[in-house]
């Protein structure tokens, strides 16, 4: 997953530091830049930076608290982490009113409903794009060569994250056409798909029952993500969902087999189908092809798995997937039952 806030913080300050050094002696500049990583780690506040850079650093700290500590916190710790995250984001906006990441992240707690947040993101998208494009033009005038490309990329990332959130929120709210449109708009702005919005697009196309569109997306992987083939859990699960919906259970079973081949330790996750909180800064960073990636895809795929009703309290697809995987992997089924019993005992 490409949006790494700590890495982006480092890149922002390294560009500014390099520009400060450009006016001096080249030899001294080279020696000074060689020590940048140590200074960043030990004395970040002493490096040249603007209020916008300081604001982004506060977003980084808020992301660590909200996205990576909060899901594992006790109830008592959770309130402190939520408060800390909000305070950091509010401080970021006071330093830089154009800190779109902070404004977007705060909207999760400040909008009264999922639909209201979707509308907030949709209404603000054009403004954020214009702001980021102005920043990109300013950066292009300040750098050349590889630095210019990196600076332009960094300038556009808040817009890319905004559109990725918009696509995800539209999908959750059932605005499937809008989710697909937002994903395509993001891919037009960032053909390399830094935000992995193709995953959201795959689910939107499955919800729309657009099999030709999903097949076309699979073919586009060679251009969008040339270093990784169309074997991620989102695309595979979307194909299983479409096969199941058209009652082609043979194709659905073959799709499940492909999913288990791609994620050999994923049977338990497919049976349990746990729902995780979404990352506020961006989609949570996990290793490609890992069990964690499958768990994340299943969580986002609840919109498919829980569609319709069944006697077990899951959606039709979710129950079918759990049953099929339990048949394929009885050990995983027994472990899922054990974990469920343990959770029932621990639940007050």
Share of the chain above pLDDT 90, in %: 82
313, 318, 323, 329 alpha-carbon torsion, rounded to 10°: -130
In tens, the pLDDT along 197-218 reads 999 999 999 999 999 999 999 9
Which uninterrupted H or E stretch holds 91?
helix 75-95
Closest-CA residue to 164 (of 144, 184, 136)? 184
Q: Residue 345 has what pLDDT?
A: 62
pLDDT at 26 over 60: no
In tens, the pLDDT along 45-58 reads 999 999 999 999 99
Q: How does residue 344 score in pLDDT terms, banded at 50, 70 and 90?
A: confident
In tens, the pLDDT along 160-178 reads 999 999 999 999 999 999 9
C-alpha 325/C-alpha 317 separation (Å) is 12
Closest-CA residue to 340 (of 271, 240, 285)? 271
C-alpha 143/C-alpha 150 separation (Å) is 9
Share of the chain above pLDDT 70, in %: 94
Q: How does residue 283 score in pLDDT terms, banded at 50, 70 and 90?
A: very high
C-alpha 161/C-alpha 168 separation (Å) is 11
Q: Read out DSSP for 254-316? A: HHHHHHHHHSTT-HHHHHH----PPPSSSSPP--TTSHHHHHHHHHHTHHHHT-S--TTSS-H
In tens, the pLDDT along 49-91 reads 999 999 999 999 999 999 999 998 998 899 999 999 999 999 9
Q: What are phi and psi of 288, to 5 degrees?
A: -60, 135
CB 49 within 8 A of CB 89: no
Contacts of 164 (CB under 8 A, 6+ apart): 186, 195, 196, 197, 200, 282, 283
Q: Residue 280 has what pLDDT?
A: 97
Residue 40, CB-side half-sphere exposure with 13 Å CA sphere:
22
Enter the pTM of the model: 0.94
Mean pLDDT of 248-261: 97
């Amino acid at each position: 997953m490409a949006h790494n806030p700590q890495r982006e913080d480092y890149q922002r300050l390294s560009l500014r530091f390099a520009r400060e050094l450009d006016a001096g002696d080249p030899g001294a500049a080279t020696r000074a830049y060689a020590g940048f990583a140590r200074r960043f780690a030990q004395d970040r506040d002493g490096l040249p930076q603007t209020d916008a850079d300081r604001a982004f650093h506060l977003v980084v700290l808020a992301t660590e608290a909200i996205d990576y500590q909060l899901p594992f916190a006790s109830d008592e710790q959770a309130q402190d982490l939520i408060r800390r995250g909000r305070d950091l984001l509010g401080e970021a906006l006071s330093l830089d009113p154009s800190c779109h990441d902070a404004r977007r992240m705060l909207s999760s707690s400040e909008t009264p409903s999922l639909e209201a947040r979707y509308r907030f993101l949709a209404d603000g998208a054009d403004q954020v794009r214009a702001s980021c494009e102005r920043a990109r033009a300013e950066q292009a005038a300040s750098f050349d060569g590889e630095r210019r490309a990196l600076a332009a990329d960094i300038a556009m990332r808040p817009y890319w994250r905004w559109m990725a959130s918009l696509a995800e929120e539209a999908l959750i709210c059932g605005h499937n056409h809008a989710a697909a449109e937002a994903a395509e708009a993001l891919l037009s702005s960032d053909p390399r798909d830094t935000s992995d919005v193709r995953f959201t697009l795959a689910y939107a196309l499955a919800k729309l029952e657009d099999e030709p569109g999903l097949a076309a997306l699979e073919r586009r992987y060679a251009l969008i993500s040339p270093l990784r083939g169309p074997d991620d859990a989102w695309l595979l699960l979307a194909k299983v969902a479409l096969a199941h919906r058209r009652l082609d259970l043979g194709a659905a079973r073959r799709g499940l087999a492909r999913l288990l081949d791609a994620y050999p330790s994923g049977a338990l996750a497919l049976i349990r189908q746990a729902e995780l909180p979404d990352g506020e800064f961006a989609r949570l960073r996990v290793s490609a092809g890992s069990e964690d990636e499958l768990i994340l895809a299943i969580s986002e795929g609840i919109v498919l798995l829980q569609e319709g009703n069944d006697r077990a309290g899951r959606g039709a697809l979710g129950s079918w997937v759990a049953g099929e995987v339990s048949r394929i992997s009885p050990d995983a089924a027994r472990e899922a039952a054990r974990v469920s019993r343990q959770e029932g005992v621990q639940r007050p």
